[in-house]
Structure 1
């Protein structure tokens, strides 16, 4: 009971410190943005962006605008689709490369050649080769998470102590049992980490892809990336900041949900 109370107190203190840090950040931002009026000197960089109060006013107007929430929906669906396909393809691929040396020797060289290519470098080619802009955005979003997931799964499986595998084999365990009881549980933490990192990259990629492709087939709600770009073209700098903060919130929510889900599949890590 005391341990739970200590954990609760620690969580409250951590949340309080985070809240204080956010308040200080906003105060510095507000002062810097209004520095020319307050002290007669424009603070570099910060003095060129809208103050938080102006951003909040703009945000209040957007909350009742359906196209703003349509942008959220379009980006979320693109991220979810690309990330889900990356998980479905990347996890089995990484595990199979880890357990099969022949397949590893065939697939890994090509994988390593393609992996350093930034996902955004695929945008022009994907627009040309895929029949719709929506599919091209989904493909680029898939690439954003795919390589990170595969390399984490492969690294996690490769780091398993071979003595565990040899001990299981000596006791008569089949390859299916070894995979199900040793390889997969030992790789789950790496899958969780790779998924969380891949989710962050996916949000970065989908926003840039929406900017480049003009929002795909989303129209007025072409995604948060298109929302930022159209705000820039229209000269609404407050809305640009709103879009950037919206992406940060969306990315945080997505990664936090993944971490919570990963914690349920790896409960033994909570004891560390």
Structure 2
């Protein structure tokens, strides 16, 4: 009975959150619509917001562009670059973080180099990446890799360092091997930190991939799409401001979907966290 009560209250709480989100988004869109029409409605242009495209015009353009294959090829191009760089960052970042946390010699050699490179913004690497990588695709994917890599490493490294040493000492006193302690204590304890780092990292990859596509010009994928960043930049050059907002909204949707998927997958690997 208690379990069902908790489930019902949780479901009710979730519905309230959805309702609040819907209301806040609706009010924000209404505010933008009124602000963009302020000159017509009130006789003066509202600062900043008065120059934005009308949300109603953006919706009309959005309704048209969703039937354009070039728009979806831009989605595919950017998503491919983000996922490619992110997955490589995850595969390399987690083992590196664990090595830094568990091996003092390894940390002493490589951590100073890591800390020296980490503050350099990913976008500062764009010119060098374009020069040293053979194709623009690899250059942009390298930039997205950097966007996620340092966040994943720092979060995983912090998670490994926060493990209570008493657990390791107790396991060692009971005869557990180093491999057993790694599999049963260290790795499970680090998973929540990996999930947090991955969730933040995927958001950063969407930020940097768009900027990298704008700066580099973005080579076309299959001759049909150059990415959402290139879509925004080309429409800025062409003066199509409604399409700029469409591109921005598309990036927000893509980032939200990616973060939600990572949180969902992470929830399956950290089911004990939900019971706290």
Of 118, 122, 135, which residue of structure 1 is paired with 2:121?
A: 118
1: distance between equivalents of 2:130 and 2:40? Answer: 47
Contact 1:137 1:216 in 2 (8 A): no
Q: 1:189 aligns with which of 186, 189, 192?
A: 192
Q: Could you tell me which residue of structure 2 aligns to residue 87 of structure 1?
A: 90
Task: Report the equivalent of 2:275.
Answer: 271
- Calculate the aligned-residue CA RMSD, in Å: 0.7
Matched, 1:251 2:268: no
More displaced, 215-224 or 202-211? 215-224
Partner of 2:119, secondary structure, is coil
After TM superposition, the score normalised by the length of structure 2 is 0.97
What is the CA-CA distance between 1:220 and the residue it aligns to?
Answer: 4.3
CA–CA separation in structure 2 for the residues paired with 1:267 and 1:3:
16
CA distance in 2, matches of 1:208, 1:70: 18
| Corresponding residue for residue 10 of structure 2 | 7
In the aligned structure 1, how far is the partner of 2:18 from the partner of 2:220? 40
In structure 1, the partner of 2:157 is 154
1:207/1:224 contact within 8 Å kept: yes
One of 214, 231, 251 as aligned partner of 1:227: 231
Which contiguous aligned blocks of 4+ residues in structure 1 show a shift greater than 3 angstroms? none
| Number of residue pairs the alignment of both structures matches | 272
Say whether 1:141 aligns with 2:138. Answer: no
Q: What is the CA-CA distance between 1:2 and the residue it aligns to? A: 1.4
SS at match of 2:114: helix
Residue 60 of structure 1, CA deviation: 1.1
Alignment partner of 1:128 is 2:131: yes
Unaligned 5+ runs, structure 1: none
Which blocks of at least 5 consecutive residues in structure 2 are unaligned?
none
Could you say what secondary structure the match of 1:221 adopts?
coil
Q: Show the counterpart of 1:238.
A: 242
| 1:130-188 Cα distance to aligned partner (Å, 9 max, x none) | 01111100111100000000011100000111111111111111000000000000000
CA contact 1:55–1:241 (8 Å) conserved in 2:
yes
* TM-score, normalised relative to structure 1: 0.99
CA distance in 2, matches of 1:171, 1:102: 27
Note the alpha carbon deviations across 1:48-89, whole angstroms, 9 max, x for none.
Answer: 011100101111111111000000000001000000000010
Question: 2: CA distance between counterparts of 1:81 and 1:99?
Answer: 28
